[in-house]
Amino acid sequence: MVIVVGSPNSSNSNRLRELAQRLGVPAYMVDAPDQVRSEWVAGKRRIGLTAGASAPEALAQSIVARLRELGAGHVRALPGIEENMAFPLPRGLQTVATASIPA
């Protein structure tokens, strides 16, 4: 089973979920820890967790904490490409955000 951390409107997260499903693996997408259902993980020996490109690390870690609450005993990170991308606000929102920050 695979859990994808990401927003339903994220095409990247949706592609990750679809890829797992195409490979015959049950896959679910969540954007909050309380969305992880106990019946998804019941009896599973292995659960994969991945995240869309814009999913914050803190959110992924909160999903890991939820899996531990549901009985996940051993959690390990697999080697892969670590990305440290920062996404700027869209131009219109930058103006609004800057104007609301006290000098």
Q: How much is the pLDDT for 5?
A: 95
Angle at 48 between CA 45 and CA 50, to 5 degrees: 165
Q: How much is the pLDDT for 102?
A: 54
CB atoms within 10 A of CB 46: 8
What's the pTM?
0.76
CATH architecture of the domain formed by 2-100: 3-Layer(aba) Sandwich (3.40)
Q: How much is the pLDDT for 100?
A: 53
Considering only CA atoms, give the Rg of the chain: 16
Averaged over successive runs of 10 residues, the pLDDT of the chain (103 residues) comes to 93 93 96 95 92 88 94 84 69 59 54
